[in-house]
Amino acid sequence: SVVGAMSAFFPVSLDPNDKEQHITAATRLIAKMNMIAALIYRTDKNKSVIYPRQDLTYAENFMYMTFGDCTLPPGVVNHDMETFKLVAKAIDAFLILHADHEQNASTSTVRIAGSSQANPYACVAAGVASLWGPAHGGANEAVIQMLEKIGRPENVPQFVQDVKNKKDGVRLMGFGHRVYKNFDPRAKYFGELVIDVLDKLGVEDPHLDVARALQEAALNDPYFVERKLYPNVDFWTGIMLRGIGIPTNMFTVMFALARTVGWISQWKEMVEQPGLKITRPRQIYIGQPIRSM
């Protein structure tokens, strides 16, 4: 709702045929989403608004507007500027790796909305709505819930067996990908980054040990290898986000913050192509089989 309402505050950037207005709208969306994400955290914690600083980078400003005064949330042992920079670098990596990823559900939603010449704020708001669904934007949150359910590294073998036996209520989250049929290259990078960040922060997350044990078990089990079920990026990002103080219910917000760059880029590319037509998927009615009267 907040993203869509931006069109009321910035009506001068709504002309679908003005390329300069496209750049203006894109810049505003990317900039405002950073503050909106921080405001969600501050409001939830009943804290006052913190405005951005021009001497900080995009990721650093997110950390500053979220937690304030270049410090990190409670529970983090190291509270110095070097650690702040490291966490901001990790946030930056998260934003880059999630910025765009082919025609996923939310990106396709943005393009479909944009094909009607709806304003860019409304189109991105449509993308947020699509991302809201747990099957799309809730993947890393589901991984955390799975790790919590496993509980301890010694419980991993039984969990793996339950997955292989297709036991009711047991699901393997954070493995496999519709696009990557081998190892997700983003997951390899993030797996190393998570360990480095948590170590520097002095944060001890028991779920990290569970995640490493689960990854080791899956990578050495023919059942998962034959099915090409390798850890994807969502397997690690939840652990990192929680380690730096982002609550689980804000994971989808972080996803939307990162994906805004991809959404608005896809929208801009589409509306500036010659001969833009409204998207109209074809639906073939199959009907019922022959029924006796």
Token readout for 258 is: 């990162």
Q: Say how many C-beta atoms besides its own lie within 10 A of residue 189's C-beta.
A: 14
8 Å CB contact between 121 and 29: yes
CA distance to 53, 130, 242, 275, 285, per residue, from 270 (Å): 33, 19, 36, 10, 29
Q: Three-class SS of residue 68?
A: coil
Q: Crossing angle of helices 251-271/105-114, nearest 10°?
A: 40
Q: Is 136 a catalytic residue?
A: no
Give the HSE-up count for residue 86: Cα atoms under 13 Å, Cβ half-sphere: 21
Task: Single out the catalytic residue among 98, 184, 207, 234.
Answer: 234
Helices vs strands, H then E, count in the chain: 13, 0
8 Å CB contact between 22 and 120: yes
**Residue recorded with tokens 């503050």:** 35
Nearest to 58 by CA among 102, 38, 88, 28: 88
**Residue recorded with tokens 């943005």:** 110
CA distance to 160, 179, 212, per residue, from 209 (Å): 15, 27, 5
Alpha carbon distance 281, 230 (integer Å): 33
Q: Is 177 a catalytic residue?
A: yes
Task: Single out the catalytic residue among 177, 205, 207, 221.
Answer: 177
Task: Output DSSP code: residue 249.
Answer: G
Nearest to 92 by CA among 197, 247, 203, 22: 197
Q: Which residues are catalytic?
A: 177, 234
